[in-house]
Copies of this chain bind each other. A is one copy, B any other.
Amino acid sequence: MISEMRERPVILREILGESLRELRTAESLTLREVSGRAQVSLGYLSEIERGQKEASSELLNAICGALGVPLSNVLRLVSDRIDAREDAHVTRLPVLNARDQAA
């Protein structure tokens, strides 16, 4: 009925993928250009951008290098976005609720 409101866990590869895609288009780079520079197949890069495949640490370095963006910048962007979604979901984790258990 209100499926839009159902909580969906934040998935790192999805936020990472959309961030990588936005950084690429902001640089006016095509999938083909980045896949060539990063030496990854165009199809695999596309799957990473769509959050369908996990990028290994080495591949992530190669993609960041191809985009000309430091890995730390990408992770900060991803962290900020996940933070915003975590707040939106009011996700409180068990250990943080110790005072509730004590009450």
Contacts and interface: CB of A to CB of B under 8 A. Distances in A.
For the residues of A in contact with B, the DSSP-based class is helix
Interface string A66-79: 01111110011011
Copies of this protein chain in the complex: 2
Contacts of A10: 61, 71
Interface of A: 9-14, 27, 54, 56-58, 60-61, 64-65, 67-72, 75-76, 78-80, 82-83, 86, 91, 93-96
Given A11-B61, A70-B86, A72-B79, 6 more contacts: A9-B58, A12-B57, A13-B56, A68-B96, A69-B95, A76-B83
Top 6 nearest A-B pairs (CB, nearest first) are: A68-B95, A72-B83, A75-B79, A12-B57, A72-B82, A76-B79
